[in-house]
Copies of this chain bind each other. A is one copy, B any other.
């Protein structure tokens, strides 16, 4: 622990271990993080300061201030806010879904961006579809009714993210599809593999050429119950009242800090996560964990006095959940220097035990042996990957993208719901992820060679 970086990096690269110096640095980072890491305390602090931090809210503003102060407290370089305008959707006070004539509430959350019911509650029969095929076969059956999207995530998928990817069209486009068939609203089964009482919200879209109908998510247990009732041939009438609405855009910010490079300070490795979270969730895994890991990665590198050749820049993006204005804003504001961004690494898949790093194939030859140094901590595998949403706007400029890939079994149990709490995050797992972000960023930023450029399409 007392060795300085200079001594470590002067350790000769033996033929037996050409990466001896890098291996020693990785070991120092992981051991320090596991013995004396702050990632869990940082996450707890963020959640206490800003338990609800949807873009445009007071909570989001508090999260910005809290993270800037945290970067400053750790003595990092160039701490600053980079302004972006963000959408301001609010849930409002009155939100309810129930069977007509039955006061018992159905566990429900409005989808982010949904219109409300300012003309008064909607009362209508429910029509269920369980697949895109059933949607295509609907004909006139859903006209004047509420369309219930009940295709579960497919548990057979090897990745829960693939299972999510196969089902999330219902949440994202359900209101558009409902409008196309003349339905009055979209009721969507929550995007989770678990059966429980928690509704999971998330973003939805409208087609400006179609009527805007409200969209809500109901818990998976409520979806199962409703489906059983309908299967019995019963007509079910629901009453939906929503006071959510979209207000004018609000000024907000990405929060940025750096460790300046010692040789090539203008070449940049970005490590990123997102500050905003759904209002109905503490957002501990999504993406408080990522923010804590990014802050902690710079803190632990500074605490170990590890100065890489290139600059490592932490970016806590605003508005990943419902607009991506932070990611788009960063790419635009830094357009002139993206050619010197050698890598961008995102962490937005929860604070679970890391399995490895996903990165664009062009990086693999040089990056695989470096990532492989993390094998003793269970995260030394380099997978194909193309980063997350926030860094995607940098892709078209040729910035190679990557992301931290943790164990994913539990992620969607929590995602966008009241279950995404600090208690769902394990301290050691979070620390392993923070160490993986710090080690990967350092190794890429300190690499003596030249990193290849990527050319990918915008998403």
Binding site for B on A (CB under 8 A): 30-31, 34-35, 154-156, 158, 160, 193-194, 353, 355, 376-378, 407, 409-410, 413, 426-429, 432
Contacts and interface: CB of A to CB of B under 8 A. Distances in A.
A264 B376 CA distance: 39
A377 B410 contact: no
Contacts of A30: 156, 158
22 contacts: A30-B156, A30-B158, A31-B156, A34-B155, A34-B156, A35-B154, A35-B156, A155-B428, A158-B376, A158-B377, A160-B428, A194-B427, A353-B353, A353-B409, A355-B378, A378-B407, A409-B428, A409-B429, A409-B432, A410-B426, A410-B428, A413-B426
Nearest to A428: B409
Contacts of A193: 428
Contacts of A432: 409
Contacts of A194: 427
Contacts of A353: 353, 407, 409
Contacts of A413: 426
A291 B63 CA distance: 45
A362 to B, nearest CB: 23
Nearest to A381: B381
A292 to B, nearest CB: 16
A35 B163 CA distance: 12
A55 to B, nearest CB: 31
Given A35-B155, A35-B156, A353-B409, 5 more contacts: A34-B155, A35-B154, A193-B428, A194-B427, A410-B428
A426 B155 CA distance: 14
A426 B196 CA distance: 13
A156 B377 CA distance: 10
A308 B432 CA distance: 40
Contacts of A428: 155, 160, 193, 409-410
Contacts of A376: 158
A372 B278 CA distance: 39
A377 B160 CA distance: 10
Contacts of A154: 35
Contacts of A429: 409-410
A169 to B, nearest CB: 21
A446 B407 CA distance: 30
A377 B408 CA distance: 10
Most B-side CB within 10 Å, residue of A154, A426, A428:
A428
A227 to B, nearest CB: 17
A379 B121 CA distance: 50
A426 B193 CA distance: 11
Contacts of A427: 194
A35 B153 CA distance: 10
Contacts of A410: 426, 428-429
A111 B438 CA distance: 41
A377 B162 CA distance: 12
Nearest to A413: B426
A449 to B, nearest CB: 28
A154 B407 CA distance: 24
A427 B194 CA distance: 8
| In the complex, the 3 A-B pairs of residues with the closest C-beta atoms, listed nearest first | A31-B156, A409-B428, A158-B376
A224 to B, nearest CB: 15
Contacts of A156: 30-31, 34-35
Nearest to A1: B156
A194 to B, nearest CB: 7
A160 B429 CA distance: 12
A95 to B, nearest CB: 29
A420 B323 CA distance: 41
A158 B35 CA distance: 11
A195 to B, nearest CB: 9
Nearest to A32: B156
A291 to B, nearest CB: 20
Contacts of A155: 34-35, 428
A31 to B, nearest CB: 4
